[in-house]
Structure 1
Amino acid sequence: MRAYLATSIGVACTAVLVLPLSLPAGALAASPAAPPSGRDAGVRTGPGAHSAAAAVPGSTESVPLRPLGSTRAPGGIAEQGVAAREVRPFSLVGVVWDDADDELRGTVQVRTRAVGSHVWSDWLEVETHNQEHGADPGTQERDSGTVRGSTAPLWVGDSDGVELRVRAAEEEDETGPVRPLLPRGLRLELVDPGEEPEALPYPPSQNSPETRPGAESGTATGAESGTATGTPVSLGTGVSPASGTMTGELAGPAAMSAEDRASSAANEGLTELGAAEIPALTKAAVAAQQPDVAAKAYAAPRPRIITRKGWGANESLREKRFGYTSTVKAAFVHHSATGNNYTCKQSPSVLRGIYRYHVKSSGWRDIGYNFAVDKCGNIYEGRAGGVAKPVLGAHTLGFNTNTTGIAVLGSYGGTNPPAAATTAVAKLTAWKLGLHGRNPRAKVTLTSGGSGKYGKGARVSLNTISGHRDGFRTDCPGSRLYGKLGTVRTSAARYQGR
């Protein structure tokens, strides 16, 4: 993702700014009062759709863009948008369009009105996020017919007013300045992530045990051994079918609801199904459970991980089946580009918003990232299928096979990532890569599925812990976070005892 900040232009890490109200609330164009569409109601269509269209928490309101002004590009309007209007409450915004292969070459800006106020934010930049995320070409997910082009989502907090403008970039050709055609079917997506689950695993964790790099961790007691939430059971690497194949829904205890069985399915070797978190586990305990000699030698402590159940993922939204690759060779680090205007208590809401945006708005089978990390260092399970398994994600176009994707919530082009976040990334990558005997400081050769930066079939040498920009032409994970990856690699290797 390009390094836009989800703040007012030129101002870093601010909350919604108070401005004089340009339009009284009653003068805003009213939002249509028609019943919600399938996307609004949270009912997925296409592959994996549930037969029962039951209402689910949260909603997505989709608003078509209209021409603004008189500026034209060859064959179309060069500026489109949504006039200031009242809408149903939402907290996250993005723009989608019909053809995922089309590029939005231009700028996207939005301003919002906080719920219960009569003031508007400043104009905020939305990351245009062209083609750099998503499933690899030729996969079932990419060829499902449901995938749309989309910007990055932007977290704006509780809002009930919105205004949007999309402007085609001015470019030069042999005839002089020109404006490229905007993609067809541009729509503003307003996402309400729904209410918080009743019992979230907070206050924020520091991911005990705090095993210092290089420190001895051969014994475990109390919370360090995971006994606070039950006796640790077999970890397992969960190496699964051939690269990119889909498997049926995994079975769980019949006494649990279907949603609870699906939530964190395949984590049964880590903690009880339906649990809100997977407890931390010491290096010695992880090593004792590893069948592979190389993995046993360089096992790392398992950090505490908040499950999909813990952050409130509604499992009826996603594709029911799971996709796996054969192993995990590398980790790609991202920033979510959703901005830094969130508290750690809001992290589950941000995740639910991203999840709904990826599935309902962008047409993906599930959230794209395998893991997420917030600014307080909390680690979250991302795409369903099991945190210890090589789940096929949709995070780094061309390099999703045999890799895992980790998104740090926020925008880190001009803002330094908190130490808690980078420490959590080091702990997570040490454990996840350690399950497969991978050295965090080494190089690995990956085969591109076609990324724009590397042609399909190209064999590319990359760091075992890479930034998104290493596999695609993008600023993601932001220059400030990218600059910390050397330290992350060193720390991760030390957690493995290297």
Structure 2
Amino acid sequence: MANAAAVGVAQAAESQGKTPAGSSTHHLSLQGGEATEDLPNEHSTKPFSLLGVSWDNPDTELPGTVEVRTRDARTGSWSSWFHLEGHGHGGDEGTTAARGSSDPVWVGPSNGVQLRTTHEGKAAAKLPAGARLDLVDPGADSGSVSAEPGAGEGQPPIVSRAGWGADETLLPPGAEPGDPSNDPEYNAEVKAIFVHHTAGTNDYSCDESPAIIRAIHRYHVVTNGWKDVGYNFMVDKCGTIFEGRKGGTDKPVLGAHTYGFNRESSGIGVLGNHAALPASQEALASVAAVSAWKLGQYGGDPAGTAELTTTVTQENYFGKQYTVGNSYTFERISSHRDGVNVDCAGDKLYEQLPAIRQLASEL
């Protein structure tokens, strides 16, 4: 029998308040959630569209497999179970991660959730201290979602942060307005691009893209404790390019996307899950356009390689070991899994990287 951690031990409580756009985060505590013999009950919640699991100690990882399913607020139907990929380390090298967390998953408008943990058919280990479900409501659309023409040579049209409705007052827990540590940081150059997928569903309309990005932004700041959204750019399946972390699209902004290699790179998050489904041709073309432009600013050949120096000791998805302070050879356009032990950007998008490199080289 599958084993499960109880959900909804504590009342859902809103945190961080409402933003001008009406977005919010509320939490369901999972404390006391040791594995049991019974699946948890379906739990009704306040509205949300994105979720993840977080816990107190960022140096701790989730035990076993954590799965959730959600109730569609429009139809009342429950989704199938899906896996939350969890990792303890922070991605933002300019700040210290407040909590460990899973990757956030976009599920669309929902009002119910259920969680279970399993481990090789046996009772799952107790969840880490402070474990909770973080449920994000992205709020209503605001701003004009239109891509602004590129100002520099080779710069593709990009939807600004104002265009997707970024809440520029949002700060990580405990941060004070005006603290210079909240300001953007800059790298010396962009030597490489790391491509990601944001996971969740591919069944979204491109009109929903700004809401997805607002939810990811809030999760990265409120849940992870980062100073801003982690990606430098985001691309949806229609090929629309969105500005990510603030600081200037034409500048080498330090992002929080590929832990250990953020200091010499930019990160592009492709909206959707590309473990089993390839990215659209429109998305590939836009990823190539951003990559060619950013690398071209610093004379980088998209079809070439670069030497990157890691800031942490870790291994990647393929078991390659990286030691802090040492340099390693990367394709100029690589995937998250090339640097970190995660399956991002999914098998299918990973297989499309050669095509992205070719398109970028042609540009």
**Structure 2 Cα separation of the partners of residues 178 and 120 of structure 1:** 25
Task: Give the structure 2 partner of residue 9 of structure 1.
Answer: none
**Structure 2 Cα separation of the partners of residues 57 and 461 of structure 1:** 44
Task: Give the structure 2 partner of residue 106 of structure 1.
Answer: 64
**Structure 2 Cα separation of the partners of residues 127 and 102 of structure 1:** 13
**Structure 1 Cα separation of the partners of residues 344 and 74 of structure 2:** 35
Task: Give the structure 1 partner of residue 137 of structure 2.
Answer: 192
1:135–1:31 CA distance, 2 compared to 1 (3 A): closer
| TM alignment of 1:79-478, pairs within 5 A | 83-128=41-86, 130-131=87-88, 134-136=91-93, 140-142=94-96, 147-167=98-118, 169-170=119-120, 180-201=125-146, 277-280=147-150, 286=153, 301-318=154-171, 320-453=182-315, 454-478=322-346
CA deviation vs aligned residue, 1:449-485 (integer Å, no higher than 9, x gap): 1151111112101111111111112221111111111
- 8 Å contact 1:152–1:338 — kept in the other structure? no
Q: Does 1:479 align with 2:332?
A: no
CA deviation vs aligned residue, 1:145-193 (integer Å, no higher than 9, x gap): x5211111111111111112233x349xxxxx89555321110011000
Residue 95 of structure 1 aligns to a residue in which SS? strand
**Structure 2 Cα separation of the partners of residues 303 and 56 of structure 1:** 28
Residue 135 of structure 2 aligns to a residue in which SS? strand
CA deviation vs aligned residue, 1:93-112 (integer Å, no higher than 9, x gap): 11000011101132121122
- 8 Å contact 1:307–1:381 — kept in the other structure? yes
- 8 Å contact 1:448–1:458 — kept in the other structure? yes
Q: Does 1:59 align with 2:24?
A: yes
Residue 194 of structure 1 aligns to a residue in which SS? coil
1:195 Cα shift?
Answer: 0.3
Residue 407 of structure 1 aligns to a residue in which SS? strand
The one-letter code of the counterpart of 2:212 is: V
Task: Give the structure 1 partner of residue 178 of structure 2.
Answer: none
The one-letter code of the counterpart of 2:197 is: H
1:443 Cα shift?
Answer: 1.0
Whose strand fraction is larger, Structure 1's or Structure 2's? 2
- 8 Å contact 1:31–1:86 — kept in the other structure? no
**Structure 1 Cα separation of the partners of residues 196 and 88 of structure 2:** 15
User: Using CA pairs below 8 Å that are at least 6 residues apart, which structure has the higher relative contact order?
Assistant: 1
Q: TM-score, normalised by structure 1?
A: 0.64
**Structure 2 Cα separation of the partners of residues 31 and 186 of structure 1:** 12
**Structure 1 Cα separation of the partners of residues 336 and 187 of structure 2:** 19
- 8 Å contact 2:74–2:109 — kept in the other structure? no
Structure 1 gaps, min length 5: 1-27, 43-53, 72-78, 172-176, 202-276, 287-300
Q: TM-score, normalised by structure 2?
A: 0.87
**Structure 1 Cα separation of the partners of residues 208 and 229 of structure 2:** 18
1:394–1:489 CA distance, 2 compared to 1 (3 A): same
The one-letter code of the counterpart of 1:61 is: H
1:119–1:185 CA distance, 2 compared to 1 (3 A): same
CA deviation vs aligned residue, 1:392-411 (integer Å, no higher than 9, x gap): 01100100002100111111
Q: Which moved more, 1:351-360 or 1:157-166?
A: 157-166
1:132–1:451 CA distance, 2 compared to 1 (3 A): farther
- 8 Å contact 2:143–2:162 — kept in the other structure? no
- 8 Å contact 2:143–2:164 — kept in the other structure? no
Q: Answer with 1 or 2: which has the greater Rg.
A: 1
Structure 2 gaps, min length 5: 1-6, 173-181, 316-321
**Structure 2 Cα separation of the partners of residues 361 and 154 of structure 1:** 13
**Structure 2 Cα separation of the partners of residues 412 and 33 of structure 1:** 32
1:474–1:329 CA distance, 2 compared to 1 (3 A): same
- 8 Å contact 1:132–1:396 — kept in the other structure? no
**Structure 1 Cα separation of the partners of residues 90 and 285 of structure 2:** 25
**Structure 2 Cα separation of the partners of residues 148 and 33 of structure 1:** 18
Residue 185 of structure 2 aligns to a residue in which SS? strand
Residue 489 of structure 1 aligns to a residue in which SS? helix
